[in-house]
Amino acid sequence: MLSAKFKDINSPIQVTTPATKYSMIVCSMHDNNVAVILIRDNKVFLQLNDVALRKQTLLNMALKRKINFNEAELSKFSLIGNFGSPMHQLKSFISQYNNRTHVNLQGIPIDTTANNEFYHWIQEARKAFYLQHRAELHFAIEGEQKQSYPTIKLVIDNLQKQDINKFELVTRSANQAGL
């Protein structure tokens, strides 16, 4: 399934997606029931569109990683469009974040080891969404136009490890790309 979206100028990461000549099914990547996985420069970022979901997911991850966030940090994090930082650096990312000057993001660690934070972010976001809405969270992958395949494969492998086999791939139309 192919999708298109409007750019969110307040997000720390902007991605130039590949163009397609095929017909597209357009869905809103800003719907609260869609989590967008952004891949840029072999780094992985996550966009959770629902403010309450962002906050609860962070609380779940903090509990899992034994990190405490105060109410101000939770509130500020809940306003960030997308994020990508190792958990041990997340407090610093939150304190430095302002939507006009974006901090240098390292991406969410993703690999095949026990330190695979991406896997846990997806897992905790799904749990939080289900508890809030009694429905499944949907996923979309938005990769940079010239992104190498191994990182995209790692993302897909991590989704499939959690029995997420349906997701959308975000592209832009040939008209938008000038083809």
Q: Is 85 helix (H, G, I), strand (E, B) or coil?
A: coil
The distance of Cα 65 from the centroid of its chain, to the nearest Å, equals 19
Q: Are 44 and 151 in contact (CB under 8 A)?
A: yes
Listed by start position, the domains of the chain span 2-177
In whole angstroms, what is the distance from residue 119 CA to residue 46 CA? 11
> What was the pLDDT predicted at 110?
96
The per-residue pLDDT for range 18-39, each reduced to its tens digit, is 554 444 444 566 688 999 999 9
- What proportion of the chain, given as a percentage, has pLDDT over 70? 76
The per-residue pLDDT for range 69-118, each reduced to its tens digit, is 999 999 999 999 899 999 999 999 999 887 655 567 899 999 888 789 99
> What was the pLDDT predicted at 17?
56
